[in-house]
């Protein structure tokens, strides 16, 4: 009898571990290096879809943006950024030209052409973080140029990028303070709007670690894209359109697996209790 009780207790311990373990599976993928089209816009079923596409873990791998953390390493800190007049302070720099030791984020809107979209706006409905975020292009003779509609260099809530025609672009990114930044992004064009993508950036070592919420940040859909300066393609490498139109199926999520394991555990526990009761009655 005691041996059976010990086995049942051990089973309960294993069951508890099994139920708690799937929480680790829900952790985000952290990208620290490699080519990333953070704002990957494609046409789907007459509308627009926003995903994140990366070549760090494979070739043109698609993700829901909220499942990825974009890590800007401490070594990205660059004092020379202070020499850019529009910035005037040092910051964490992700250069327009690829640095093998850092992530290389950009965007790709070429996938909308097959849906009949001739221009796309990438809208930053919310930008939140401990410091400022800047985006700019380096010119042929060392000058700088804005890629944001309106000619601004600082990326703030309400900023947008106008792509006409749809292009594949990489640019300079600067974050002025360490910590966690959140961007709530949505693509619009020809009266259609994409899902709102939640992008989380972890910059440097330390700093505030607050992730903002993207609920209720959908932008109003304009009848047609605004007539403003378009961001020009700057990458020396052209990414092919994503091979798949849907995010990869990774199987049952961790909540489903937890309930399955819990159900099996309760069945075993119930059977054990029946045996205990019967054994007790037999001993009388």
pLDDT, tens digit only, all 284 positions of the chain:
445 444 444 444 434 433 333 333 345 899 999 999 999 999 999 999 999 999 999 999 999 999 999 999 999 999 999 999 999 999 999 999 999 999 999 999 999 999 999 999 999 999 999 999 999 999 877 799 999 999 999 999 999 999 999 999 999 999 999 999 999 999 999 999 999 999 999 999 999 999 999 987 775 554 443 333 445 443 333 333 333 333 333 343 333 334 444 455 555 455 555 465 465 555 55
The Cα angle at residue 114 between residues 112 and 120, in degrees rounded to 5 = 25
With CA atoms as reference, report the closest residue to 158 among 122, 123, 130, 201: 123
Instruction: Decide: helix, strand or coil at residue 37.
Output: strand
Whether the Cβ atoms of residue 70 and residue 202 lie closer than 8 Å to each other: yes
Tokens of residue 8, six digits: 């049942």
So what's the pLDDT on residue 242? 34
Measured CA to CA, the distance from residue 136 to residue 129 in angstroms comes to 19
Residue 192: other Cβ atoms inside 10 A: 16
With CA atoms as reference, report the closest residue to 105 among 81, 76, 80, 85: 76
Residue 142: other Cβ atoms inside 10 A: 6
So what's the pLDDT on residue 282? 58
The 8-class DSSP code of residue 157 comes to T
Q: Can you list the pairs that 273-277 forms with residues at least 24 positions away whose Cβ atoms lie under 8 Å?
A: 275/4, 276/1, 276/4, 276/5
Question: What's the burial of 56, exposed, middle or buried (CB within 10 Å: 0-12/13-18/19+)?
Answer: middle
Upstream peptide bond of 101 is cis (omega within 30 degrees of 0): no
pTM, two decimal places: 0.71
Q: Can you list the pairs that 249-258 forms with residues at least 24 positions away whose Cβ atoms lie under 8 Å?
A: 253/26, 254/22, 254/23, 254/25, 254/26, 255/22, 257/22, 258/19, 258/22
So what's the pLDDT on residue 261? 42
Residue ranges of the domains in the chain?
A: 2-21+254-283, 32-203
Side-chain-side CA neighbours of 49 within 13 Å: the count stands at 19
Question: What's the burial of 152, exposed, middle or buried (CB within 10 Å: 0-12/13-18/19+)?
Answer: middle
């Amino acid at each position: 009898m005691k041996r059976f009780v010990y086995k049942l207790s051990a089973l309960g311990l294993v069951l508890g571990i099994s139920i708690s373990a799937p929480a680790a599976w829900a952790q985000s993928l952290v990208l620290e290096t490699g080519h990333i089209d953070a704002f990957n816009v494609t046409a789907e079923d007459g509308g627009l879809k926003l995903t994140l596409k990366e070549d760090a873990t494979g070739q043109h791998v698609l993700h829901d943006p909220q499942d990825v953390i974009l890590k800007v390493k401490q070594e990205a800190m660059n004092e020379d950024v202070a020499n850019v007049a529009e910035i005037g302070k040092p910051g964490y720099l992700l250069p327009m030209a690829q640095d093998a030791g850092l992530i290389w984020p950009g965007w790709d809107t070429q996938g909308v052409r097959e849906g009949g979209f001739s221009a796309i706006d990438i809208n930053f409905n919310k930008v939140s973080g401990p410091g400022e975020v800047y985006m700019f292009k380096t010119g042929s003779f060392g000058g700088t140029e804005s890629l944001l509609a309106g000619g601004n260099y600082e990326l703030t809530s309400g900023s947008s990028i106008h792509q006409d025609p749809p292009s594949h672009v990489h640019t300079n990114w600067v974050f002025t303070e360490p910590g966690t930044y959140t961007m709530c992004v949505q693509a619009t064009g020809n009266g259609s709007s994409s899902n709102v993508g939640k992008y989380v950036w972890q910059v440097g070592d330390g700093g505030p670690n607050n992730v903002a919420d993207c609920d209720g940040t959908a932008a109003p859909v304009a009848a047609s894209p605004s007539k403003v300066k378009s961001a020009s393609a700057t990458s020396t490498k052209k990414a092919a359109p994503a091979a798949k139109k849907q995010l990869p199926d990774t199987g049952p999520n961790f909540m489903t697996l937890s309930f399955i394991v819990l159900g099996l555990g309760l069945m075993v526990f119930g059977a054990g209790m029946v045996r205990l009761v019967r054994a007790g009655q037999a001993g009388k």
